[in-house]
Amino acid sequence: MEKSDITERIKSLQEKKGFLILAHNYQNSEVQSVADFVGDSLELCKEAQKSPYSNIVLCGVSFMAETAAILNPDKNVYLPEKNAHCTMAQMLTPDAVLALKKNHPSAQVMCYVNSSAEVKSVSDIICTSSNAILLARKIESEEIIFVPDRNLGTYVSKSFPEIKVWLAPAFCYVHHEIYPEDVIKTKEKFPASLILSHPECQDPVLQISDFVGSTSAILKYVSASAEKEFIVCTEEGMLERMRIVHPHKNIISPLMPRLCYGMKKTSLQSVLSVLENPSDKISVPYPIAEKAFIPIKRMMDLSV
Ligand code: SF4
């Protein structure tokens, strides 16, 4: 089937069956083009909650669909590709978190949303890259165990030198492997450009950046800026979106495009397949869903 036919069929089935299609910023541009809403993790959670539709197709990775299912137990959440996983979320087990808690009993566990439901269920508060700083301030703890992303945790700890932050060893390979040398070489080619980075990048990259923020914050920054050239240190899907939104601005990859293979598993065909045959809705076992809901809800309440 031609891509245009697949797109038409998706739209028609979506309307007929009453589905909301959500896509993360890292999805490829074809998948983003059929979504009702494209955004970062926190924005997708909020859209899923306020949607009147009871069926949601979430084009992203499994932890996102799990989070949407935990927040919306009365809705059916479908992930088009069952094996679309976040490598960083898979790096950390709940036992590793419990071991950190045992060693640092006074610390609150702040868990990045890019984590399994099991890890969330043993955490005190969930955060995203857009609200981690705000929430670290609001929970008023002298010690924080930040999991799973050690780079985002380092970013939080540098913002609060008075708080002791304990880190887990996990990281996102997509961002971690953007090296400062790559960024500097790119900047030499485009000396007028600004460097915008996601806080999942390593600290030396953040140190040479003009702006650090979540994917949506980076997009807002570019939209508001009068500048024309930006080196954007994050996953390429975000850069594709920015090039569509701002065709007259030069959105530059740091030496080469960085791809998340979990995110890129979803295709137009997989979105169509789940609409044609919506089986295997995402379900998180009851005791885990119940426990994970508490720190997610705490995030939602404190991040308004
Ligand atoms: S870009 Fe990194 S953190 Fe995001 S889903 Fe992919 S592996 Fe996980």
Residue 301 lies in a domain: no
Q: Does residue 298 fall inside a structural domain?
A: no
How many A from CA of 26 to the centre of ligand 1? Answer: 9
What pLDDT is attached to residue 153? 98
Q: pLDDT value at position 244?
A: 94
Count of residues in the chain: 304
Residue nearest to atom 5 of ligand 1 (CA): 86
Give the binding-site residues of ligand 1, using a 6 Å CB cut-off: 26, 61, 86-88, 114, 172, 174, 235, 260, 262-263
Residue ending a domain, choose from 120, 154, 169: 169
Which amino acid is present at 180? P
Is residue 197 in some structural domain? yes
Q: Which residue lies with its CA nearest to atom 3 of ligand 1?
A: 172
Task: From 260, 264, 266, give the residue whose CB has the most ligand 1 atoms within 8 Å, as the site to mutate.
Answer: 260
Q: What percent of the chain has pLDDT over 90?
A: 92
* Ligand 1 atom 8 nearest Cα: 86
Residue 26 to residue 184: CA distance in whole angstroms: 24
Does residue 42 carry a pLDDT above 90? no
Within a domain: residue 161? yes
How confident is the model at residue 189, as a pLDDT? Answer: 98
Identify the weakest region by mean pLDDT among 2-6, 78-82, 246-250: 2-6
Average pLDDT over residues 29-56: 91
Domain final residue, candidates 139, 169, 199: 169
Cα(172) to ligand 1 centroid in Å equals 6
pLDDT in tens, 72-102: 999 999 999 999 999 999 999 999 999 999 9
d(CA 121, CA 112): 12
Among residues 132, 151, 169, which one ends one of the domains?
169
The CATH code of the domain that includes 151 is 3.40.50.10800
- Cα separation, 237 vs 113, in Å, equals 19
What is the mean predicted confidence (pLDDT) over 117-136? 96
Q: Does 238 lie in the same domain as 181?
A: yes
**For ligand 1, atom 2: residue with the closest CA:** 172
Give the nearest ligand 1 atom to 262 CA: 6
User: The whole model's pTM is what?
Assistant: 0.94
CB-based burial, 84-96: b 16+ in 10 Å, e otherwise: bbbbbbbbbebeb
* Mean confidence (pLDDT) of the chain: 96
In the chain, the number of structural domains is 3
User: Whose alpha carbon is nearest atom 1 of ligand 1?
Assistant: 260
Pocket test for ligand 1, best of 79, 263, 266 (most atoms within 8 A of CB): 263
Cβ-contact 249, 230 below 8 angstroms: yes
25 Cα to the center of ligand 1, angstroms: 11
Residue with the nearest Cα to atom 4 of ligand 1?
Answer: 86
If pLDDT is split at 50, 70 and 90, which confidence band does 279 have?
confident
* Boundaries of domain holding 151: 88-169
Q: Are strands 164-167 and 194-197 parallel, antiparallel or unpaired?
A: unpaired
Structural domain includes residue 231 = yes
According to the model, what pLDDT value does residue 204 have?
A: 98
Residue 135: inside a domain, yes or no? yes
- Shortest-distance atom of ligand 1 to CA 114: 3
Q: What spacing in Å lies between the alpha carbon of 142 and ligand 1's midpoint? A: 29
Residue 295 located in a structural domain? no
Residue-level pLDDT at 140: 85
What is the distance, to the nearest Å, from the Cα of residue 29 to the centroid of all Cα atoms in its chain? 16
10 with 72, same domain: the answer is: yes
| Statement to judge: residues 96 and 75 lie in one domain | no
Q: What is the pLDDT of residue 41?
A: 83
| End-to-end Cα distance, the chain | 44
